[in-house]
Amino acid sequence: MIKTDILIIGAGPTGLFTVFEAGLLQLKCHLIDALPQAGGQCSEIYPKKPIYDIPGFPEVLAGDLVNNLMEQIKPFQPGFTLGERANTIEKLDDGTFIVTTNKGTKHHAPVVAIAGGLGSFEPRKPLIDNIKAFEDKGIEYFIKDPEMYRDKKVLIAGGGDSALDWSIFLADIASEVTLVHRRNEFRGALDSVEKVQNLKNLGKIKLVTPAEVVSVLGAEKLEGVVIQKSGDNAEEIIKEVDHFIPLFGLSPKLGPIGDWGLEIEKNAIKVDTFDYQTNIPGIYAIGDVNTYPGKLKLILCGFHEATLMCQSAYQRIYPEKKYVMKYTTVGGISGFDGSKKEAPKAVVKAID
């Protein structure tokens, strides 16, 4: 059981900054995120895109913003449960919560802050009738353990970076890699496109374009797929494969959080703007996942919400204590790792 003061669901910019504000109050944080890395949308969808409305940053790349936040919160030693989705929440008699992920990891905290953005990112599944029947029986939407593809026949579908990168990676592991894409053109880092071209020339990757997997075949497990080739050489190809990996990107879904008994409006969680608490005391919602009159889904608003939320969380955890806000310039930052940052003291010296 992972124990912490504030359990943050969602490791996007708002969730990450919560660690900093909580840290100033000497509260420890742990974050859960369905993605394998921190940063939320900023890392997953648009790491190379600039943002212009972060105060104090005339321009910052989304990926750099995440790196900066990770650096900023480092002294407060946040814990991470990545690649797992928060599934269920249980309120104990003492008012604390246990949140369990889809993989069974349990987290115990007196305060839960949902900073879930638009929801957890789920793979976008191709529209093939019986695809569900073969999930984890030859069809995988994520590659968790590349070793499971050793000496297997693998077919990857998709035209983005992940389809390219995994084709390259698996070319050395699998006995056969086929890459299917609806276009002849790929959208990915130039370097990856060139690598795939080389591997294709060497016969290590079979490229089938423009084409689409239209059905999947097999009895107990996946045995093959039907590829519909379009364009001038339109034909249907039946291809024997052990694994089919569709990589069509991710799309966010509110998911299980929607069933936690929270008041939901327009796919977002309703909160009180006094402290961004939900209708369940002790559960807060901050950033893009919440809604209130006048709500704007901006990173900078998420930062503000996180800051006020932490004050309320502090009062909930220590109802008997009185806290007076201190500027970081005055109080400095005392990390849980023993580090200390503070403003240099002025030199007092007489001038002769």
**Do strands 111-114 and 106-109 pair parallel, antiparallel, or not at all (unpaired)?**
unpaired
Q: How far apart are CA 155 and CA 153, in angstroms?
A: 7
Residues in 283-342 that interact with another protein by CB under 8 A: none
The answer to the question of residue 49 lying near another protein (CB under 8 A) is yes
> Tokens representing 304?
């503000």
Write the single-letter amino acid at 345: K
The answer to the question of residue 127 lying near another protein (CB under 8 A) is yes
Q: 211 by DSSP, 3-state: which?
A: strand
What does each C-alpha distance from 290 to 143, 281, 316 come to in angstroms?
32, 15, 20
Of the two residues 248 and 318, which places its CB atom closer to another protein in the complex? 248
**Smallest separation (angstroms) from another protein to the CB of 1:** 32
Of the two residues 10 and 159, which places its CB atom closer to another protein in the complex? 159
**Smallest separation (angstroms) from another protein to the CB of 58:** 20
Write the single-letter amino acid at 116: G
Residues in 233-272 that interact with another protein by CB under 8 A: 248-249, 251-252, 254, 266-268
The answer to the question of residue 118 lying near another protein (CB under 8 A) is yes
Q: How far apart are CA 218 and CA 151, in angstroms?
A: 19
**Smallest separation (angstroms) from another protein to the CB of 159:** 5
Of the two residues 161 and 223, which places its CB atom closer to another protein in the complex? 161
Q: Please name which of 282, 337, 273 lies closest in space to residue 307, comparing C-alpha atoms.
A: 273
The one among 182, 206, 304, 316 contacting another protein by CB under 8 A: 182
Which helix (H) or strand (E) segment is 206 a member of?
Answer: strand 205-208
Of the two residues 248 and 292, which places its CB atom closer to another protein in the complex? 248
The one among 28, 91, 108, 124 contacting another protein by CB under 8 A: 124
User: What backbone phi and psi angles, to 5 degrees, belong to 45?
Assistant: -100, -45
**Smallest separation (angstroms) from another protein to the CB of 265:** 9
Of the two residues 255 and 335, which places its CB atom closer to another protein in the complex? 255
Q: How far apart are CA 215 and CA 31, in angstroms?
A: 39
Contact between 250 and 219 (Cβ < 8 Å): no
Of the two residues 45 and 207, which places its CB atom closer to another protein in the complex? 45
**Smallest separation (angstroms) from another protein to the CB of 282:** 25
What is the size of the binding site for another protein (CB under 8 A)? 25
Q: What 8-state DSSP symbol labels residue 57?
A: B
Which helix (H) or strand (E) segment is 79 a member of?
Answer: strand 79-82
| Residue tagged 């002025």 (tokens) | 346
> Tokens representing 268?
């977002």
Stretch that binds another protein, among 80-88, 123-131, 139-147, 219-227 (CB under 8 A): 123-131
Of the two residues 79 and 249, which places its CB atom closer to another protein in the complex? 249
**Smallest separation (angstroms) from another protein to the CB of 105:** 26
The answer to the question of residue 183 lying near another protein (CB under 8 A) is yes
Q: Please name which of 60, 31, 59, 63 lies closest in space to residue 45, comparing C-alpha atoms.
A: 63
**Smallest separation (angstroms) from another protein to the CB of 309:** 21
Residues lying near another protein in the complex (CB under 8 A) are found at 41, 45-46, 49, 118-119, 124, 126-127, 158-160, 181-183, 185, 187, 248-249, 251-252, 254, 266-268
